[in-house]
Structure 1
Amino acid sequence: MGKDIQDYLDKGLYGSPQLKPDEQRKFLGTFRERVVFILSLSDLTSASYENFAISQFQKYPGGTLLVNALLKPAIQKQLIHLTQTNHVSLKLVDTENTLLADQAIVVVYTLNHAVNKENIELPLQTKFSNTTRDIKKAPTTTKSESFFKSLFSKK
């Protein structure tokens, strides 16, 4: 009987014990095993993240898109539109953070059961599809041209 009273007091003082609280904080309140995909703040700058999200919505229907409430309203509006047009639930999640880092997870698409997907990040070809076009347009210098020559030459 003493253990039951102690458990009751602990629950009253500290709240209900959570399973894997660090993991739940990282994935906006859900477990890693339920995550279909994640997006960081820097991923949202890629124009092709929407196509990736839509393909995952179709492949794994019935999920919920968890969105960090600290995202700018304009980005939240885009995500709301994306979920409404694809019939996906959306939930804004408050976090303990006050600022968002570029690599912080700000969007999580999750199911209510385990999927145990190995790779949950945006594919690299999707992440860098816009930047590769910009790199190709950049002027290149030949190896024989020295640094100082390029600085002082008249063009």
Structure 2
Amino acid sequence: MAKDIQDYLDKGMYGTPQLKPDEQKKYLGTFRERVVFILFLSELSLNSFEEFAVNQFKQYPGGTLLVNALVKPTIQKKLIHLTQENEVLLKLVDTEHTTLADDSIAVVYSLNHAINKEDIEMPFKKRTPSASTAKNTNQTHSSGGFFSNLFSKK
């Protein structure tokens, strides 16, 4: 009985407990196992994303396209037309962010059941590490490590 009272008080103070809240925030309110594909903001400028999305809509019918509300209105309009033509539900999702970076997830297509699809990114447009990351990796390998830098005569 005391546990029931404590659960009731916790729900009142903190709200209903959520399962994997960080994962839900990342994928615009859905779980990773339900995601068919994601599109990053930088990929929405490519014309090929529409063809990819239509193929996925046909392969996995009955899903919902979740769109970050911070996406530009011109892209939102394009996505609205795309979903209307393919009879797909569309939901605009508000996030706690005020701006959207190029490497942020802007669009998520998900189903209402788990499919556990392994690769959810666009196959022909994989994100590559930035030039600064590649540069740092090359510098680390060529420098010889901490001790060689410490004892080297320059």
TM-score by length of 1: 0.80
Partner of 1:86: 86
Pairwise CA RMSD of aligned residues? 1.2
Structure-to-structure mapping, 1:6-17, within 5 angstroms: 6-17=6-17
Partner of 1:131: none
Would the aligned equivalents of 1:46 and 1:127 in 2 still touch at CA under 8 Å? Answer: no
1:127 and 1:75 map into 2 onto residues whose CA distance is 21
Shift of 1:72: 1.1
Is 2:53 the partner of 1:60?
A: no
Structure-to-structure mapping, 1:1-155, within 5 angstroms: 1-124=1-124, 126=125
2:71 and 2:9 map into 1 onto residues whose CA distance is 38
2:15 and 2:59 map into 1 onto residues whose CA distance is 37
2:106 and 2:6 map into 1 onto residues whose CA distance is 38
2:59 and 2:98 map into 1 onto residues whose CA distance is 34
1:114 and 1:127 map into 2 onto residues whose CA distance is 24
* Structure 2 gaps, min length 5: 128-154
Shift of 1:127: 6.3
Aligned-partner residue type, residue 31 of structure 2? F
What secondary structure sits across from 1:42 in the alignment?
helix
1:9 and 1:77 map into 2 onto residues whose CA distance is 44
TM-score by length of 2: 0.80
TM-superposition CA deviations, 1:67-91 (whole Å, max 9, x none): 0011111111100000000000000
2:126 and 2:32 map into 1 onto residues whose CA distance is 21
List 4+ stretches of structure 1 deviating above 2 A. Answer: none
Aligned-partner residue type, residue 60 of structure 2? Y
Instruction: Give the share of equivalent positions with the same residue, in percent.
Output: 73
